[in-house]
Structure 1
Amino acid sequence: MHPTDIVVCDHTWLRGCQPPCDRIFVEYCPMTMFSGFPYLWRLSLTALTASTLTLTSWVSLTAMDVCGTAALARSTREFGRDGRHGRDGRAGRNGRDGADQTVRATGQPLNLNLSGTDGEDGGFGENAEWLRCRRQPRDERHDLNAADGGNGGHGGNGGRGGNGGTLTVQYTDPSHLRQVLAMAGGGRGGRGGRGGDGTYGCECDDERWTVKVCENGTCREEEYECNDGRDGADGRNGADGTAGNIGKLVLINQLEPLPQANPEQSHSVSSLANKTVTLSRNLWETRRGSTNLLAPGSVIADEYQAYKGFIDRQFTLDWQASQDLQAFTETIDLTLRPNGQVDIDFPEEYWLLGETVEQETLTTYRVDGIVPVADVTELAMGRVDGRSRTFEVNVVDLAQRSDVLDTRFEVRYSTSGNDGRRRRYDVEFDGPVPDDLVQQDHNRFTLALGRLPIASQLLSGGTRAQVELKIIRSYGSNVAEQTLTWKGQI
């Protein structure tokens, strides 16, 4: 026997042994149960009697306890402890934004600091813990994986630089602006922290080895391998923080406070009708060249806002619709634009019919009619009757809005034969229904489709037909469509 080979017994064979058995061999198995005897070289038993059978069973169980893993499936085990990962670095704090300031330029020197502060640097990632690699176990009957190295911690991101503040300068003499030194630069972004170092994984002493396995007098060699541990990855460097935005300049060519502006208002329909409200706004113009206006050395955005004046506009809602005004509790949004136009944002749930009237400083919107959008497409297919030239289709307006809405119809008429397979429809007509073929009786429409240019035999009794109606409804500039379909036998 080679000194580096191990011969083990096979448990499966022992469990499968039924009396009478000739012999059971246990070779070179560690016998921890017999103190003083490190190895049992050969145990030979003959199963001849009942007492011998009992002994045989005992030997089988003992052999299983002694030989341990002889019949286990091939597996992989790790030896050693994986390296501990390093902790991530702390993110740097963002810089503070510069404070907004409002000053008056009177000709006296002004030195103003509205700069943002720098962002803090991110912290370094922690290095992974170094491994203490254990010695590789010898002559194992399974594959081995050495311990992996630890990953380095990621570096913390740098903090964002603070934004420069907004400087508002009121003045009457443009030359006085040259006495204003404004420092409104953005803060620098903090530097990202360095990532921590990863550690190397442990290495195997023996990459391959064999174990000799004997069963019922027959021996074979099993080959096993050891895989080196994975090297830990270095931590990622943190991202640098972004620089803060440069501050902005606002110029107002007057020393008096600006008038209070109210360019946007919301009112309920009922409260706004036949009542006048006032909207107002301050006007601004975007210009360039701010550093040419202020003291040399100023740090501020080149583009600035210049005050242009103040406008106001009155608005009223003239309710001429037949519907009860108090039934509408929804809100109307009003916006005064810089050009003096008043935008009216009526709730989307309604269609309006009306007109805007402009008079000097007053804008009037006259409401001539109003229809809920949900009522526009509440049409349903009614009775389908007749044949040949008397074939007609009825459509009913369930919301009863047809007296105020314009309604047009388009139809696709198709017929189908029965060939014993899946039914297929052939289009016989596809187009608008002329007005003279549509009869309206309040909220009921009768469409004389039999008078369309369709061959009479395609409208005869017993014909399987499909009618697809596209209904176009409009109210002023508002338009919506609805489709109804009927299938059946004429």
Structure 2
Amino acid sequence: MQRLVILLPAFMATTALAQQTFGVSGPDGRDGRFGRNGESGQSILITVDGLAQSYDISGSDGSDSRDYGEDGAHAYDCRQPRRAPYNLVGARGGNGGNAGLGGNGGNGGSVALSLASEENLSDLKLITIRNRGGQAGQGGQGAGRGGQGCQCQERDWNVEFCTWRLSYTTPSSSTKVDTYTYETQVCYPNSDQPIRVPPPLPSDRWSDKIYQWNLSSTESKRFSCTDGARGRDGFISNARAGQYGSIGVYVGGGTDTDKSSWRTSLGNLINNTYSLAGFVSEVRTGLTNLLSQSSDVLDQFVYAKYHQLKIRFEWQPNTTPQQQGVADLAVSAALGGTPATPQIQLNVPAKVTYKVTKTDNLTLIKFTHVLGSTDPQKIAECAKYNAKGSMVCEFKDQCRYEDGECIPR
């Protein structure tokens, strides 16, 4: 009975790999030491009282580094294997160290200026503030260079592979030869002695058989070597300068119990008056003209003025919110607008329409209709009054209709 077995030795599995690395990669160079970051200025509250005041809350400068990055080391032990039965690539060089980074400048401190009224704005000329950011520290002047990779001594070569046939005979029937296995290996394992050496006999061979290797075929394969990559050069980076601190001018003031917004159910609002109190702010320019000429600040600042507005809610329909099924709908209000023209931003469900009447001290909200989802006439009336600005269906004065119902966008 003939038996055929194909065995692939370890070196044949190696040839399936794309490549193997020879040599040892060089270590990376050390980065330069960082400079110390500057400290930020403290945040302060200044009460403007008509007296001259001066504050320097600038950020401190970052310290210099001036420390160089070290060069990456070259790859070593770069002896290329001779005529290996696989592709080769040299080990890479070490990366160069980055130059030392200077310390970042500290940020300037933030300032809140508190005034009793707008009549005191001229007193800001008595205030000197310096809150610029600190300078960035100087970094190291040089980064490390990348190390050299292992170089190839031989770029490409051919390797001859021999396929051997192992056969055996049985002494009792010497005329019959059976094939036991085939095995492929490098034809010349010892490159200094060009002699084809067959593989060793298998250890699991039968003791009553006589085995012999015979050359079946040969094949030449070509392999190549690629130089190891040079390490990456280090970087030289700049530190960040500190930023100016922010400044806000706050006119007036309230109490800790002030609320600038609230949210409740519609049923709780009827025949009640609510207060909205707090600062209304906007971003302005021209701060350098308001403070003393010795100041060093950004020209942009926040201007905020304290306002207290009242809002009252009344119900016009003959049936109550509970009877209309809208008592649990959420209504919210917030203080908005600008310091010169404060406003109440009201968010009412689109199902309920209302009219607004304003006086100097009070905003009156009178709920007028409850819109049903199948009442196109009322919905059209809602949109009509919306355009005139005398009736608002919902926040932002816009309706989106789904199945005939006004839905807030």
Normalised to the residue count of structure 2, the TM-score between the two structures is 0.62
Query: Quick one: distance in 1 between partners of 2:148 and 2:364?
Result: 80
User: What letter is aligned with 2:113?
Assistant: T
Does structure 1 retain, via aligned residues, the 8 Å contact 2:99–2:237? Answer: yes
Question: Is residue 2:318 matched to residue 1:315?
Answer: no
The residue aligned with 1:226 is 225
Q: 1:424-478 CA distances to partner (integer Å, 9 max, x unpaired)?
A: xxxxxxxxxxxxxxxxxxxxxxxxxxxxxxxxxxxxxxxxxxxxxxxxx656124
Q: Report the Cα offset of residue 195 of structure 1.
A: 5.4
**Aligned twin of 2:401:** 480
Distance 1:303 1:474 in 2: 46
Does structure 2 conserve the Cα–Cα contact (< 8 Å) formed by 1:159 and 1:190?
yes
Instruction: Describe the SS at the equivalent of 1:245.
Output: coil
Rounded to whole Å, the distance in 2 between the matches of 1:331 and 1:89 is 61
Amino acid at match of 1:315: I
Shift of 1:147: 0.9
1:406 aligns with 2:402: no
Task: Tell me, in whole angstroms, the C-alpha distance in 2 between the residues paired with 1:317 and 1:364.
Answer: 6
1:275 aligns with 2:223: no
2:86 aligned with 1:142, yes or no? yes
Cα deviation digits, residues 394-447 of structure 1 (max 9, x gap): xxxxxxxx3xx1169xxxxxxxxxxxxxxxxxxxxxxxxxxxxxxxxxxxxxxx
- Between 1:200-209 and 1:98-107, the stretch displaced more is 98-107
CA distance in 1, matches of 2:63, 2:328: 54
Q: How many corresponding residue pairs?
A: 321
**SS of residue matched to 1:244:** coil
CA distance in 2 between counterparts of 1:251 and 1:327 reads 40
Letter in 1 for 2:348: F
Alpha-carbon distance between aligned partners in 1 of 2:49 and 2:366, rounded to the nearest angstrom? 48
User: Does the aligned pair in 2 maintain the 1:213–1:219 contact within 8 Å?
Assistant: yes
Answer yes or no: is the 8 Å Cα contact 1:86–1:153 preserved in 2: yes
1:242 Cα deviation (Å)? 4.8
Q: Which amino acid aligns with 1:185?
A: R
CA spacing shift, 1:174–1:83, aligned 2, 3 Å: same
Q: Distance in 2 between matches of 1:352 and 1:279?
A: 22
Q: Find the counterpart in structure 2 of residue 101 from structure 1.
A: 45
SS in 2 for 1:202: coil
Match of 1:297 among 285, 291, 294: 294
Residue identity matched to 2:314:
D
Q: Is the 8 A contact 1:107 1:177 kept in 2?
A: no
In 1: Cα distance, 2:221 partner to 2:151 partner: 22
- For residues 380-406 of structure 1, give each alpha carbon's deviation from its aligned partner in whole angstroms, at most 9, with x where no partner exists: xxxxxxxxxxxxxxxxxxxxxx3xx11
Structure 1 letter corresponding to 2:401: A
d(CA) in 1 for partners of 2:68, 2:94: 16
Give the conservation status (yes or no) of the 8 Å contact 1:356–1:365: yes
Distance 1:268 1:114, change over 3 A: farther
CA contact (8 A) 1:146 1:203 kept: yes
Change (3 A) 1:117 1:351: farther
Change (3 A) 1:292 1:272: same
The verdict on how the C-alpha distance between 1:345 and 1:136 changes in structure 2, with shifts beyond 3 A counting, is same
Contact 1:154 1:196 in 2 (8 A): yes
Matches within 5 A, 1:10-159: 69=11, 73=15, 75=17, 76-85=19-28, 95-108=39-52, 110-118=53-61, 127-152=71-96, 159=104
**CA–CA distance in 1 between the matches of 2:77 and 2:284?**
70
Deviations 1:83-105 (A, max 9, x none): 34457778875742432231334
Residue 393 (structure 1) aligns with: none
What code does the residue aligned with 2:110 have?
G
Q: Which blocks of at least 5 consecutive residues in structure 2 are unaligned?
A: 164-214, 384-398, 405-409
Query: Partner amino acid for 2:131?
Result: A
Q: Which amino acid aligns with 2:43?
A: A
Quick one: higher RCO (CA 8 Å, sep 6+), 1 or 2? 2
Deviation at 1:177, TM superposition (A): 4.6
2:288–2:295 CA contact under 8 A, matched in 1: yes
Report Cα offsets for 1:167-218 as digits up to 9, x if no partner. 5164877776554332111233456677554222110122223334556387
In the other structure, the counterpart of 1:429 is none
Partner of 1:438: none
Q: Taking structure 1 as reference, are residues 218 and 231 closer, same or farther at Cα in structure 2, changes over 3 Å only?
A: same
Which AA in structure 2 matches 1:166?
A: V
Q: Deviations over 1:285-304 (max 9, x none)?
A: 86654444444422112245
**Is 2:148 the counterpart of 1:200?**
yes
Q: Does 1:343 align with 2:288?
A: no
C-alpha separation in 2, matches of 1:296 and 1:100: 20
Distance (whole Å) between structure 1 residues aligned to residue 283 and residue 22 of structure 2: 71
Are residues 307 and 141 of structure 1, via their aligned partners in 2, closer, same or farther at CA, if it must alter by over 3 Å? closer
124, 131, 140: which one pairs with 1:184? 131
Alignment check: 8 A CA contact 1:249 1:301 kept: no
Flag the 1:191–1:364 CA change in 2: closer, same or farther, 3 A: farther
The CA distance in 2 between the partners of 1:184 and 1:202, in whole Å, is: 55
Note the C-alpha offset of 1:324: 0.7
Asked whether the equivalents of residues 28 and 97 of structure 2 are also in contact (C-alpha less than 8 Å), the reply is yes
Matched AA of 1:149 = G
Query: Which residue matches 1:329?
Result: 328
What is the Cα-based RMSD across aligned positions, in Å? 4.4
Identity among equivalent positions (%) equals 24
Whose Rg is larger?
Answer: 1
Whether the 8 Å CA contact 1:161–1:241 is kept in 2: the answer is no
**What corresponds to 2:254 in structure 1?**
259
Q: Structure 2: how far apart are the matches of 1:82 and 1:205?
A: 17
TM-score by length of 1: 0.53
Query: Equivalent residue of 1:270, what SS?
Result: helix
In the alignment, which residue of structure 2 is the partner of 1:456? none
| Structure 1 pair 218–352 and aligned structure 2 pair: CA distance change class (3 A) | closer
- Is contact 1:189-1:244 (8 Å) kept? no
Corresponding letter in the other structure for 2:368: D
CA distance in 1, matches of 2:83, 2:236: 43
Q: Alignment partner of 1:188: what SS?
A: coil
**Residues 1:298 and 1:319: Cα distance change in structure 2 (over 3 Å):** same
Residue 90 to residue 270, structure 1, CA distance change in 2 (3 Å):
farther
2:225 aligns to what SS in structure 1? Answer: strand
